[in-house]
Amino acid sequence: MSRLALHPERHRVARIGWLRAAVLGANDGLVSTASLVMGVAAAGAPREGIMIAGVAGLVAGAMSMAAGEYVSVSSQSDTEKADLARETAELAGDREAEVSELAGIYAARGVEPDLARQVALQLMARDALGAHARDELGISEITTARPVQAALTSALTFAGGALPPLILVALAPLQGVIVWVGVGALAGLMGLGGLGALAGGANVGRSVLRVAFWGVLAMAATVGIGRLFGTAVS
């Protein structure tokens, strides 16, 4: 049994495809929905009105996140496919030039020129397009764009992040709903920031403070607007 089989390595970069969409979706769902219901509550709306606004925000936000991620990642996927098609044509047109190009990449990284050419020839004999995609274009299985995965992840995590504020609106006393939702959202944001940092190997404290700061800022802004317009209407 090889040493690699005995000691497999798991790197966090393998999670980047879904982790980015998941963290963004959950944070956005929590912040936007909490801010929305707090703003509506600050304007003096009844519980039913707050719930309707929150549910509408959940549905609209989840669909918007899914559509945005799908379009964005599809554009990346289209670019990757175009680059791979061009590389396939270049391999068919002048394979020797492609060998020299790949060898030059390895030589620039510190491999001896003769050895770099041998490596290029051996890799291209097995999978020419894969070797150029990985080492020339920077496209690999880990980083390949997956539009459907990104869209579904964003929609589901947005909805998951949006649910806690709605539950608090339904259960908390109406007079204190702003405080309950604000505290609950802040706790959720700090938890998401910590989980995202742990999953990605980043600094936990810095990530928690970052999401907490922007979340508090968003909620405070919408509460202020709600009170301003609620006073003006009344």
pLDDT of residue 143: 57
pLDDT of residue 162: 94
pLDDT of residue 26: 87
E-strand ranges in 112-205 read none
CA-closest candidate to residue 103, choices 91, 94, 112: 112
| CB neighbour burial string for 144-164, b if at least 16 within 10 angstroms, e if fewer | ebbbeebbbbbbbbbbbbbeb
CA-closest candidate to residue 88, choices 61, 112, 121, 124: 124
CA-closest candidate to residue 160, choices 17, 23, 19: 23
pLDDT of residue 199: 66
Asked if residues 62 and 162 have their Cβ atoms less than 8 Å apart, the reply is yes
Asked if residues 151 and 73 have their Cβ atoms less than 8 Å apart, the reply is yes
What's the rounded Cα separation, in Å, for the pair 28 and 198?
19
pLDDT of residue 193: 79
What's the rounded Cα separation, in Å, for the pair 110 and 12?
26
Structural element, H or E, at residue 36: helix 16-42
Extents of the domains making up the chain: 15-229
pLDDT of residue 154: 85
pLDDT of residue 108: 86
Half-sphere exposure of 186 (CA within 13 A, CB side): 15
Please give the structure tokens belonging to residue 109.
């990284």
pLDDT of residue 51: 95
Q: Block means of pLDDT (10 residues each) for the chain, length 234 residues?
A: 49 53 82 93 92 95 90 83 84 85 86 87 84 78 70 89 94 92 91 75 80 88 85 44
